[in-house]
Amino acid sequence: MNTELTNSINATSEEAQYDASAKRLLSQKNILAHILINTVDEFKGMNYKDVVPLIEGTPYISTLPIEPGLTNAKVENDGQRITGFNSEDKELNEGLVWFDIVFYVRMKDGLSQIIINVEAQKDEPSKYDILNRAVFYVSRLISSQKERDFKNSDYNNIKKVYSIWVCMNISENCMNHIHLVNENILGSYKWKGDIGLLNIVMIGLSEELPEHNKDYELHRLLGTLLSNELTATEKLNIIGNEYDIPIEEKFREEVDIMCNLSQGVKEKGIAIGENIGEKRGIAIGEERGKTIGEASVIRTMYNNGLTPEQISKMTSKSIDDINAILEVE
């Protein structure tokens, strides 16, 4: 296998490992509790430490398929068939789409539950509108409850769901709550039911880390955690000192892993361009060879599944330059 393709595959592999590490960090209960107190009405105003014990079990991380018919699994328990989440080995179902993080959280009354889904996006996709995907995800969180969280036509036992999207590289730090509203078109009849069952929260993180204040408290925490620029030490100082989150050894190791992977992805992208540039430079001149090499590796990275936004971050070239190169045959 040639060096160009090998480096490109390695860069793609490290990108996938980086994504997996980011999800593991986001799934830490202290982090999830901070997300909940800033996005879910039932937990707003609470201390995050009081929310942590309300998060049930271990969150599912990239183990629940989204496809209809595959989110749930039936298992035998003391002779009874019980429907629960399908958390089968991901490698056995290669090609499926998976929820990033899913978990149950109990309300303050200790009885009722909410289902929470957290999704991490490095940037807005170019092939589809991200809100459409979020609507599909939150709809699956509702429909998959049948026979798992409620039986037959007992629709009053549907659990409230939140699909929370953490989107990086947005032009500004922002947050939106998308939910159903009841608009009286004619008459004033009061229909029974809970229109608050379905909720989408979109959290946009800009590249610039905001100052620590009440409005941007969550953005600063998530921006710090997912930053490609801050060192592990800088991240841990902000998370531990500003947010009073205990820095356990496992958490510290995961932050180190993600920072190392981030640096590795950058270096692989640079190495690919330099390698091809040197080869072409022998024939057509060093400067022109480097330019052609960069264009070639950008096309290779794109053909290996990376988006223009991801390539831009790895090569420090603008998205316009990336798109211009991809348009040239």
10: in domain: no
Residue 1 lies in a domain: no
Q: Is residue 3 part of a domain?
A: no
Query: Is 105 within the bounds of a domain?
Result: yes
Indicate the pLDDT class of residue 86, thresholds 50, 70 and 90.
low
Q: Containing domain of residue 277, as a range?
A: 263-327
pLDDT at site 92? 45
Shared domain check, 136 and 167: yes
Residues 273 and 157 in one domain: no
252 and 282 housed in the same domain: no
32-50 confidence digits (pLDDT tens) = 999 999 999 999 999 999 9
When divided into structural domains, the chain yields a total of 2
Domain boundary among the residues 210, 235, 256 is at 256
Which of 209, 200, 202, 251 is CA-nearest to residue 228?
A: 209
2 located within any domain: no
Query: Does 294 fall in a domain?
Result: yes
Q: Are residues 201 and 314 in the same domain?
A: no
DSSP 228: S
Structural domain contains residue 6? no
Residue 87's pLDDT band (cuts 50, 70, 90): low
Q: 286-303 vs 3-26: helix axis angle to the nearest 10?
A: 50
Same domain, residue pair 81 and 179:
yes
Last residue of a domain, one of 203, 231, 256: 256
Q: What is the mean pLDDT of the chain?
A: 82
**Of 118 and 19, more confident:** 118
One domain for residues 44 and 176: yes
> What is the predicted pLDDT for the residue at 328?
65
269 has pLDDT over 90: no
**Whether the predicted pLDDT of 213 surpasses 60:** yes
Same domain, 51 and 135: yes
Kindly indicate the confidence band of residue 69, based on its pLDDT and cuts at 50, 70 and 90.
Answer: low
Q: Strand pairing partners for 84?
A: 73
CA 179, distance to chain mean position in Å, is 20
Rounded to whole angstroms, the Cα distance separating 320 from 301 reads 16
User: Between these two residues, 4 and 242, which has the higher pLDDT value?
Assistant: 242
Q: Are residues 130 and 93 in the same domain?
A: yes
